[in-house]
Amino acid sequence: MPVKDLQGKQIWQRNTGRESISHWIIWLIGVAIFAYCWQKISNSTTWFFVWDAPRIADDIWTRATPPRWEYITQLGEPIWDTLNIATLGTIFSLILAVPIAFLAAHNTTPSRFFIRPIALLIIVSSRSINSLIWALLLIAIIGPGVFAGVIAIAIRSIGFCAKLLYEAIEEIDQTQVEAITATGASRWQVMAYGIVPQILPAFAGIAVFRWDINIRESTVLGLVGAGGIGLQLSSSLNVLAWPQVSLILLVILVAVIISEWVSAKVRGAII
């Protein structure tokens, strides 16, 4: 009882005594964990470098400005590759994500106890692992290049798209599906007439949203050798050509802003 009767006075507290003690204990444990973690980080940090950081940052800044503008002529092709990695990767991932989403949604899955868990496992595996790691893996398998980037983006995006899509499928209006079933339509016709029209807007929204994210991700895939503008970034960093690095970062920034603008426009047009 939050209201206590103490010597004839009514005392109101937000929590009961036991609750407030347990709250304090939880907070204490939280703070202790944080302090411990911070201790660990601090131990593996060379604090000398950290105190020196402002000077180094200033040094890098003076070296990186002004950007080497004429270098931009060499960035055309890498940008084109980056765009292709993102777009083709998104298209491939959508092709694979659609069937997986249908297998994972509990109202369309053919088998709730066998196929659905497998589909969900594919989704969570693909989502848990960053596209850079997929790219590393694919480069080890099929060699460096744009192709590895496309596949890495595709694999990473499957989980994301399939998850959002199967949530959309689970939210459809079941009576519309029932009405189509009642006409004597086959399983596939029910899919095409009852379900697909309902999830089409969600699908388009997801596709554009993921494309936008993929543009960002594909700009850095080159760091591990999977093509795109990241390759230039990585080689410029290796030779400490800071004016080139700053130009590349600017170009990436512009690309990201443009892709965000495009995706916002397209989503506005669809919905």
Partner 1 sequence: MLRLEKLEKTYKTGDQALKSVQLQVPEGQVLALIGPSGAGKSTLIRCINRLVEPTSGKVYLGEVELTGLSSNNLRRERRRMGMIFQEYALVERLSVMENVLSGRLGYVGFWRSFLRRFPQSDVDEAFRLLERVGLAHMADKRADELSGGQRQRVGICRALIQNPALLLVDEPTASLDPKTSRQIMRLICELCKERGLAAIINIHDVALAQMFVQRVIGLRFGAIEFDGPPEGLTPEVLTTIYGEEDWEATIEAVDDDGDIKVTK
Partner 2 sequence: MSEINSFISKPWSKPSFIKRPWLRWTLIIFFLTYLLAAYATIDVNWSRVYEGLERGKKFVLAFTNPDFTTRSSDIYEGMFESIIMTITSSVVGIAISIPIALGAARNIAPLPVYLICRSIIAISRALQEIIVAILLVAIFGFGPLAGFLTLSFATIGFLSKLLAEDIESMDKVQAEAIEASGAKWMQWINYGVQPQVMPRLIGLSIYRLDINFRESAILGLVGAGGIGATLNTAFDRYEYDTAAAILLIIIMIVMALEYMSGVIRARVQ
Q: Enumerate binding residues for partner 1 (CB under 8 A).
A: 173, 175-176, 178-186, 188-189, 192-194, 197-198, 200-201
67 binds, among partner 1, partner 2, none (CB under 5 to 8 A by kind): none
Q: How far is the CB of 216 from partner 2 (least distance, A)?
A: 6
96 binds, among partner 1, partner 2, none (CB under 5 to 8 A by kind): none
Cβ distance 232 to 112 under 8 Å? no
Q: How far is the CB of 181 from partner 1 (least distance, A)?
A: 6
45 binds, among partner 2, partner 1, none (CB under 5 to 8 A by kind): partner 2
176 binds, among partner 2, partner 1, none (CB under 5 to 8 A by kind): partner 1
Cβ distance 4 to 13 under 8 Å? yes
> Which residues bind to partner 2, rule: CB under 8 A?
33-34, 37-38, 40-42, 44-46, 49-50, 53, 56-57, 60, 80-81, 83-84, 87-88, 124-125, 127-130, 132-133, 136-137, 139-143, 145-147, 150, 216-217, 219-220, 223-224, 233, 237, 249, 252-253, 256-257
